[in-house]
A = this chain, B = another copy of it.
Amino acid sequence: MSQYPPAQGTPVPEPSVRVLPVVDGAQPERADAARNRARLLEAASRLVAEHGAGHVTMEAVAAAASVGKGTVFRRFGDRAGLMRALLDHAEQEYQKAFLFGPAPLGPGAPAAERLEAFGIATLRHLETYVDLYLASERCPTRRYSFPARAVQATHVAALLRQAGVTGDVELLTQALLGYLDAGLVNHLRTVRRLPAERVEAGWKDLVARVVREGH
């Protein structure tokens, strides 16, 4: 078994260059810090691939990286932070795709179509990374305040407005994103055994209903 994100080229995400917000006015990391971050991400990624995100302990990651446990927490804050760091690279690709990629996902297509495509892309992205998302959501309430979620929300809200939707766009956005929640999708796919196509069709239907004209 290899790295977790099944990508080949770049083995491990860097200190992160976010697609949208984040003004990192921080000075560069010290050499040992950078080295340990890399080691940790590599080790974590390998362990997650081997045992699944849910069965990897922080201690194990530290040991596999030949680093003290304290260092793991210093670098990533907490378990969820480490998991998010593992997602970072894939998430940036995903964000790039819907922000700047080719239509209909990226700019160029009518808003309603982009919205459809956005959901499908998200569902497929989740298909690969659900367990990582679930593991990165341990925090009960902060699930909704992450940068990644903010990017999604901004995007969906913009598309809704472009599509001429009137009403409380912000709340409609939350409703739509609710359907793309990792926990829900996981439940539908894993517990309820719904085929991916059906869940995707469900998204298209939902979007159609929300966007439909006659405000």
User: Which residues does chain B contribute within 8 Å of A134, judged by CB atoms?
Assistant: 140-141
Complex: how many Å from CA A65 to CA B145?
37
Which chain A residues (178-196) contact chain B, with CB distance < 8 Å? 178-179, 181, 183-184, 186-188, 190-191, 194
- A21 at interface (Cβ–Cβ under 8 A)? no
User: Are A174 and B184 also in contact (CB < 8 A) when A137-B140, A209-B210 are?
Assistant: yes
- A55 at interface (Cβ–Cβ under 8 A)? no
Size category of the binding interface on chain A: 35 or more
User: Are A171 and B141 also in contact (CB < 8 A) when A179-B178, A212-B209, A212-B212 are?
Assistant: no
A172–B140 contact, CB under 8 A?
no
A167–B137 contact, CB under 8 A?
no
Contact among B138, B168, B175 for A178, CB-based, below 8 A: B175
User: Which residues does chain B contribute within 8 Å of A186, judged by CB atoms?
Assistant: 141
- A125 at interface (Cβ–Cβ under 8 A)? no
User: Which residues does chain B contribute within 8 Å of A143, judged by CB atoms?
Assistant: 183, 187
Complex: how many Å from CA A137 to CA B143?
13
Which chain A residues (197-215) contact chain B, with CB distance < 8 Å? 198-199, 201-202, 205-206, 209-210, 212
Map CB proximity to B onto A64-88 as digits: 1 under 8 Å, 0 otherwise. Answer: 0000000000000000000000000
User: Which residues does chain B contribute within 8 Å of A187, judged by CB atoms?
Assistant: 141, 143-145
